[in-house]
Amino acid sequence: ETSTDPWVFRKQLQRSDKYYRPDATSLKTMRQRLREVHNSTLVEEIQSSPDYTLTVGNITFKLAEAHGFCWGVERAVAIAYESRRRYPDKTIWMTNEVIHNPTVNRNLEELGIRYIPRDAGNQKDFSVVSAGDVVILPAFGAAVKEMMELKRKGVTIVDTTCPWVSKVWSSVERHKKGEYTSIIHGKSKHEETIATSSFADK
């Protein structure tokens, strides 16, 4: 029986056979494939210099030593790309942009991965999703009620939620048990804020 407690429900979902989150070995392979897709010879050339600079004529390019996707985003994108390889014949949906990057999201759409549409009231229309479909949760996570609806529909959930995001959810759960109030600093309509607040009691 599905629990109505958000934290218990999420744990039940993670143990179900309709939930996919890769192990460390699979993730390493996925990340390597991602680097091959998003490789830049120019960036490689700049990285090969000791001070991350490249001078062409009278123009000098400087590259930040730490640049590109953070590891949580890299992980989410790698899992999202891999979902097409893992489920080649399935209809695959995304609840939101996997990350806020137009190139990545366009690439996913070119792989035939679609967004769950929104109705006239700007609410997600889950009626398009059928049992047996695959649904990708973004790096920002998803609201508990959305995950419950997807589980009810019998879809396979590919969870790309950043571990740092789910760590915040753990804090919300811990505070809830202690009857503390969690204060979320973020945009009220952002996917991550909506997902995080869905783990609180009120």
Residues belonging to the active site: 192
Please tell me the distance from the alpha carbon of residue 184 to that of residue 138, in angstroms, as a whole number: 19
Across 9-41, b (16+ Cβ under 10 Å) vs e yields bbeebeeeebbbebeeeebeebbeebeeebeee
Give the CA distances from residue 79 to residues 35, 53, 183, in Å, rounded to whole numbers and listed in that order.
13, 32, 30
Both structure tokens of 46: 């700049």
Please tell me the distance from the alpha carbon of residue 121 to that of residue 103, in angstroms, as a whole number: 28
